[in-house]
Structure 1
Amino acid sequence: MKSRTIALLGAACFVSGAFVAKVADDKLSVGVLQDAQKLIGLNFTDAQLDSTITELEELRENYEVLRKQNLPNSVAPALVFNPIPVGYTFETQKSAFEAERAQNVKLPRKREELAFYTIPQLAELVRTQQITSEELTKFYLDRLKKYGPTLECVTSLTEELALQQARQADKEIKAGKYKGMLHGIPFGVKDLLSTRKYKTTWGATPYKDQVIDEDATVVQRLQDAGGVLVAKLTLGALAMGDVWYGGKTRSPWDINKGSSGSSAGSAAAVSAGLLPYAIGTETLGSIVSPSTATGTTGLRPTFGRVSRHGAMALSWSMDKIGPIARSAEDCAIVFNAIYGPDGKDQSVYDAPFNYNQSINPKKLRVGYLKDDFAKEYGFKENDQATLEALRKAGVELVPISLPDLPARELTLTISVEGAAAFDELTRSGRDSMLVAQHKNAWPNIFRTGRFVPAVEYLQAQRVRTLLVQQMQEILKDVDVYISPSFASNNLVVTNLTGHPCVVVPNGFQKNGMPTTITFMGKLFGEAELLSFAKFYQSITPHDEQHPSMNFGKKKKS
C-alpha cells in the first residue's frame, strides 16, 4: 500500500506538470494515471491514458534536465502579464510634477514632534537649513533604536551608509544643488528589496544571512533623489503576514496586536514616527492591510508602474511596489521618484504621472461600491462618515458594482507562481526552516501549487483577461471609486487586474485600533487618485492622528 501511495503522489504531480520528489525507477501505468487524474477532475479512458505514458515519461526526464538549470528568484518567466484592456490607451503627454510646498515651517521646540512631520514639512526644514540631513538622520536612527525592538520592525539598520548619505546631502544643499523634496530625507525599505553590502533577508530563516550586493531600482532611484536609507524593515516571511524569523511585528497603536502583513515593518515604522516614509510591496493586500492596522496612508500603484528589479519575486504577474507614508501627498512625492521603466523589469510601462494643481478633485467622477457599504460590519459608521464628508464637500457619488466573475478562484495564480519562485526551497526541504508551518503557510501552499496543472493555470489567466476587460467597461464613466477596506472581493479583483489604490485612515474602532477606507483609480490613474485622496485628507483630520508611543508591556504571542 505504501509503494502504491508513493506512485500515486509521483504520478499526480507528474500529470500536473511537476512532482515534489523524484520517485526512483517508478514506471507509470494506467492504474497510476487513473488515480492521478481524479486529483484534477478528468476522466480519460484506459486506452487514452495508456497512449500518454511514453510522452509522460519523456516529460519527466525533461523536468529533471530543466531542474539542473540555475534559476535564482530574480529570473522572471518569459510570459509577462498585460493589464491593459483591448482598446485602452493611456496618456502620453507628460507635464511637470507639482506638490504643495509647506509654508512657514519652523523647527519645533520639542524635537520629538519632528517624528510626525510630513515630507514637505521636513523638506522645508532641510532646504532652509534649519536642520541638517545628518541631524535628521540621527534623530530617526535614535527612534529606530529606541522603539524598533519593541515593535520588532527592523531587520537591519544601515547606519554607516545613512550617515554617509546624509553628510553628502548636506554638502550638496549647502552648495545650492538642491534636488527636491526627498533630498536629505531618511527612508526605509521592506527587506525584500536588495541593497549593497547589507543583508536582504526576505523575512525568512533560510535567507536571514543572504546578501544580494546590488541596489534594487527603487532603492537606487530614491538615493538618486537625495534620499537617505536608514533601515531595512521587516516583512512576514516570504511576504505573508507579520511573523518573521525574528518575531512578530507590532502595531504602535497596540503592541499586543500585529501590524498585519506583509509590509509589516514599513507600516509600523512610519506609523510610530520612526521614519517619514517607507517602501512596501503588495501582491494581495500587503500594503492595504498593514496600512489599516497602523493608520498610515499607503499607495499600491498600477501593475507595471514601478520596476521590481532587485525585489524578491512571489508572483511575477501580481507583485507591485509602492510607498507607505503620512499622507496622500507624501505618497505622490515618493511615487514621482520611483515610477517608470528602468530597462530591467520588462513589465514596466512608460506612462506619465501628471500630478499637479491642475487636477480639480471635485470635478472627478466618483463611484462607490454601494452593496459593500450596505453590509453590516464593525466600523461601518466610520465609512459612512467618509461618504457623508465627501458628499458635503460637493462630491457626487455614483453606485457601481464589480464584475460577476470568479475572482477568488484566480488566486491560484499566487500558489503556482510562488511555487515556481521558491521551487528550490521546496525540493531541498529547507521550507521546514520557515517559522510558520501550519496548513495555510507557505510550505503547504508551495507544495499544493505543484499539483495545479499548467492547463488550469493558463485557463485561469484567460478568465483574468475577461476580468480586465469587464473592469474597463465598469470604470469607463468614473475616475475614482470608493470601497470599504474590508471588502475582500475588491482587494482580490483589483490586485488581479492591476488597478491602483490609496488606503487612508478614517477613524478608529472601539478597541482603539485605526480603520481605513480605500480609494481606487483607473489604470495609470495615480495622479487623479492621489489628488482625490489628498482632497479627502484636507477636509478630515484622520491622517494627523498618531499613536501615543507610551507602550505598555507586550504579551507573549
Structure 2
Amino acid sequence: MRHTLKRKPFLLVFFIFVFLMYACGGTKREFNKRDVKRAQNLVGVAFTKKQLDTLYPYLERNREGFDSLRAYELDYTVFPAIKFDPLPLNFVPRPQDSFPIWEIPKGVELPANKSQLAFYTIPQLASLIKYGKISSVALTQFFMDRIKKYDGVLQSTITITEKMAMEQAEKMDAELQAGKYRGILHGIPYGVKDLISVKGYKTTWGAEPYKEQEFDMTATVVEKLQDAGGVLIAKLVSGSLARGDVWFGGKTKNPWDIKEGASGSSAGSGSATSAGLVPFALGTETLGSITSPSTRNGITGLRPTYGRVSRYGVMSLSWSMDKIGPMARNAEDCAIVYSIISGKDAMDPTTTDYPFGLDKNKDVTTLKVGYLKKDIDKDTSKSKDNMVKALEVIKKMGVQMDSLELPEDVPYSGFDIILRAEAGAFFDDLVRSSDVDKMVEQDQRSRANSLRQARFIPAVEYLQANRHREVLIEKMHELIKDYDVIISPSFGNRQLVITNLTGHPVISIPTGLDKDKHPTSITLVGNLYDEASILLLAKAFQEQTEFDEMHPEGYMD
C-alpha cells in the first residue's frame, strides 16, 4: 500500500467527538445525552434517539481516554508518531549539483558613509572581514547599534543577544588572525525569528503567556550557522504564536511605510533585514509567513521544501506544514544561508537526506518555465503592473514560458482544518489552562480564538482533509513535474495554499514599488527538493534588475 498510511499526519490528540469538550478550563465537566444530541449540528450528522442511546457509553469512555492522555506531560519537542510525507507516487528527485565554493570578491572597500554597510550583501561583508577591512567585532557592534537606533520605531527585535554576539565575534577575529577561516559566513551577524530556541536567552514565541520562557537548548539551525562562523545578534519578532505582525510588545512596522505593519508572522525578520538592522535572518512559514513579510518589506525570501531544514528547537504550529528558510538581500544570499542550514538532522524526524546543491553557472535558458497566466490576468492588486514587467524581463533573458493553470477541482476551503487541528494539539495545555486569555489579540481572527475553536474539529474531518491533501499532492505533481519553475503572483491566488500543503519550495523576489511606493514581488515555485532551479532563475533575474538593491529611505543616517 506504498506510503499512504504514513502520510496521515499527526494523530497526536484523538479528536473524535472532541467538540463535546469545553474549550477552556481544566476542571472536568460532565455532559449528558442532550449535549450529545445538540452537538450533532456542529459536524452535520443526525443519529436517531436509539443510536444516541447506544453510543453514549462509548462517548463516556472516550472522555475517560481524553482525561488519561492529559495526565501525562508532553515536551514541546515531541513529534507525533505519524509523520507527513510530501512525496507523490513514483516520485524521482531531480539530480542536484553540490553547492559551489562561494566566491568572495576582492577589492570591496568600506563605504565613505558607513551606514551603507547595512545594505551590503553577504559576499561583500565576507570580503571586508576576510581581507581585514573590518573586524567581526566592529561589524557586530555596527549592526547592534543600528538595532538600538531604529528599533524603537520598527519594533522588529525582542532580544539583542549582545553577550553571545560579542563573544562569538571576538572568537571569529581571533581565529582569522590565527589563519583559521570558516567560510563565507565567518564573522557575519544575523538574526532569527523568536520561535527559534537559543540557550541562555528567552524564546517568547511573540506571545504574552510565554514572554519569560527559556529553553536549555539551542536549535539545530542556529548551531549550524554558528559552526559556519555566523554571529547571532538578535531574536526577532514573531507575531503571537506565528500569526500576523502583532506581538506582546506592539506591532512590527514596515520600514517602507511605518503606518503599516510588516506582515507576518516572520515580521521581525522581514522588517529588520529590510531596514539593514541585520544582513540576513531566518524566518518560518506555515501558510505564507516567509513569503508575505518578504514581499511587504521588499526583500528576498526562500521557503525550502518541507523537511529540507531541521525544526529541532523551534516552536511548532503545524507539524505537517512548518518550514524554516532564509530572508535576505537577494537570491544568492538566500542560497548561501540555505546551503548551511539544510540537511538531515537526527533530532527532527521530518528531515530528509535527498541531494541538494546549486550550479550557479547553469544556463538559465535551459530551464523549462511555466507561468500562471489565469491568476496573473485576474490579479487586481497594485503589484500587477510590476508582475507583468517582470515577466517581460524574464522573456528578454531568453527564457521560454508556457501558460499553466492550478488545479480547480479541489476543496481549498477545507484544508485550513489541518493547520488549525495541529496547532490546537500543540497548544492544548495553553487553551485548557486558560492562559490563552492572556494573549494580546482576542478578536475573531486572532490566534487565541483559532486555538479555542480547534477543540471543536472532529478527527474524522481532520483525516478527510488529509485524504484530499493526498489528491492535491498528486495533482500538483502532475502540473509541475515537466517544469523546473512555475512563476506565480505572491498573493491573491491558491498557489500559497497549495505549495504549503504539498511542501514545494518557493522564493519570493522583489519586482519594484507600486504607485504607493510599497514593495511588490513575484514568487517562483520549484519541484520538491529542487531549490536549485528557483534560486538560479531568481539570481539571473536579479542580475538583470536592481529591485533587490533598493532599500527604504531614512536608514542611511
CA distance in 1 between partners of 2:88 and 2:147 (Å)? 44
Contact 1:419 1:449 in 2 (8 A): yes
Contact 1:255 1:551 in 2 (8 A): no
Counterpart of 2:142 (choices 125, 139, 146) is 139
Q: Which stretches in structure 2 are left out of the alignment for 5+ residues?
A: 1-14
2:348 maps to 345
Per-residue deviation, residues 21-54 of structure 1 (Å, max 9, x unmatched): 577563532x332211111011222222221111
- Offset, 1:359: 2.4
Please give the TM-score of this superposition, normalised by the length of structure 2: 0.94
Contact 2:265 2:289 in 1 (8 A): yes
Please give the TM-score of this superposition, normalised by the length of structure 1: 0.94
1:6 maps to none
Q: Say yes or no: does 1:471 pair with 2:473.
A: no
2:400 maps to 396
Q: Say yes or no: does 1:423 pair with 2:428.
A: yes
Deviating more after overlay: 47-56 vs 352-361: 352-361
1:441 maps to 446
CA distance in 2 between partners of 1:217 and 1:204 (Å)? 23
Higher relative contact order (CA 8 A, sep 6+): 2
CA distance in 2 between partners of 1:15 and 1:214 (Å)? 34
1:321 maps to 324
- Offset, 1:149: 1.5
1:85 maps to 88
Counterpart of 2:54 (choices 27, 51, 55) is 51
1:555 maps to none
Report the secondary structure of 1:488's partner residue.
Answer: coil
Contact 1:153 1:264 in 2 (8 A): yes
Report the secondary structure of 2:422's partner residue.
Answer: helix
1:300 maps to 303
Q: Say yes or no: does 1:148 pair with 2:142.
A: no
Q: Which amino acid aligns with 2:516?
A: N
Contact 2:19 2:39 in 1 (8 A): no
Q: Which amino acid aligns with 2:397?
A: A
- Offset, 1:139: 0.7
1:510 maps to 515
Report the secondary structure of 2:117's partner residue.
Answer: helix
1:381 maps to 385
2:233 maps to 230
CA distance in 2 between partners of 1:178 and 1:251 (Å)? 36
CA distance in 1 between partners of 2:457 and 2:274 (Å)? 40
Q: Say yes or no: does 1:521 pair with 2:526.
A: yes
Q: Which amino acid aligns with 1:542?
A: F
- Offset, 1:176: 1.8
Contact 2:290 2:302 in 1 (8 A): yes
CA distance in 2 between partners of 1:407 and 1:498 (Å)? 16
Contact 2:20 2:36 in 1 (8 A): no
Counterpart of 1:500 (choices 491, 500, 505) is 505
Q: Say yes or no: does 1:217 pair with 2:220.
A: yes
Report the secondary structure of 2:481's partner residue.
Answer: helix
For these two proteins, the number of residue pairs brought into alignment is 540
Contact 1:13 1:450 in 2 (8 A): no
- Offset, 1:96: 4.2
Structure 2 vs 1, CA of residues 333 and 169 (structure 1 numbering), >3 Å: closer, same or farther? Answer: same
CA distance in 2 between partners of 1:362 and 1:227 (Å)? 34
Contact 1:28 1:57 in 2 (8 A): no
2:132 maps to 129
Seq. identity, %: 49
Q: Say yes or no: does 1:549 pair with 2:522.
A: no
Q: Which amino acid aligns with 1:395?
A: V
Report the secondary structure of 2:494's partner residue.
Answer: helix
Q: Which amino acid aligns with 1:396?
A: Q
Q: Say yes or no: does 1:269 pair with 2:293.
A: no
Q: Which amino acid aligns with 1:269?
A: A
Q: Which amino acid aligns with 2:492?
A: A
Report the secondary structure of 2:442's partner residue.
Answer: coil
CA distance in 1 between partners of 2:556 and 2:230 (Å)? 30
Counterpart of 1:486 (choices 485, 491, 501) is 491
Structure 2 vs 1, CA of residues 195 and 23 (structure 1 numbering), >3 Å: closer, same or farther? Answer: closer
Counterpart of 1:457 (choices 434, 456, 462) is 462
Structure 2 vs 1, CA of residues 360 and 447 (structure 1 numbering), >3 Å: closer, same or farther? Answer: same
